[in-house]
Amino acid sequence: MLQPGAILDMVVYHNDLKNLQRVKDFKWAYVYENIFFNVFRNSIALFMVELLQRSLKQPEANPPLFNFVEDAFIHLDKASDSVAANCALYFAINLSRFYGFMIADRYSEKSNILDLMEGRYVSDKPDHLHFLEHDYSRVVSDLLKVMQPDELTHIKLNQETRRVLLHAFETFYALHIQDFGKMKTLPVLEAVLS
């Protein structure tokens, strides 16, 4: 029950003055059918958990963020393999909206370079190395248009495109969140998705 990514109903006594908190009771809020038993889905879930751990800095309640995360994990559990393969990308791109540094989807034939530092599409290569161009920037635009995870079935990507985009999103978060660091689950996810 206490595996990373488990969705639990908990009764917890929280004291800001202490490092050790008290858990009175916990039970499943949702029982996964696939995530804990499928290496492919479990690797994606662990990536999502690590992304949350590295990006959540404030302990205050955030119901919209919780609902998004809960929904993303449930969709990952129930999704077809073609949808699940793109869940990590969908999660990473949409999670940034809750932190206030989302990518503005203004892709066009003229503005077809995604500046990861600025989080927007530009027409000329930036003076730094943190950008995506050509097919990669177009795919990010396609991902930004996805409103529900089930729509990911329409986005067909190969393992190289997923690898490049996952590393780009890691860079995007590192540029916008202090002390983000390098994700340890990314190499594992790359191996599983190959």
pLDDT level of residue 16 (50, 70, 90 thresholds) = confident
- Whether the per-residue pLDDT at 142 is higher than 80: the answer is yes
pLDDT at 141: 96
pLDDT at 30: 87
pLDDT tens digit sequence for 168-185: 999 999 999 999 999 999
Report, as an integer, the average pLDDT of 26-51.
92
pTM over 0.85: yes
- Whether the per-residue pLDDT at 19 is higher than 80: the answer is no
Domain boundaries, the chain: 39-193
Pick the CATH number of 39-193 from 3.50.50.60, 3.20.20.70, 1.20.1440.120, 3.40.30.10: 1.20.1440.120
- Whether the per-residue pLDDT at 1 is higher than 90: the answer is no
Phi, psi dihedral angles at 24 (to 5 degrees): -85, -45
- Whether the per-residue pLDDT at 2 is higher than 80: the answer is no
Handedness of CA 184, 188, 189, 194 (dihedral sign): positive
**Mean of the per-residue pLDDT values for the chain?**
92
**Cβ neighbours for 141, distance < 8 A, ≥ 6 positions apart:** 105, 107, 121
pLDDT level of residue 60 (50, 70, 90 thresholds) = confident
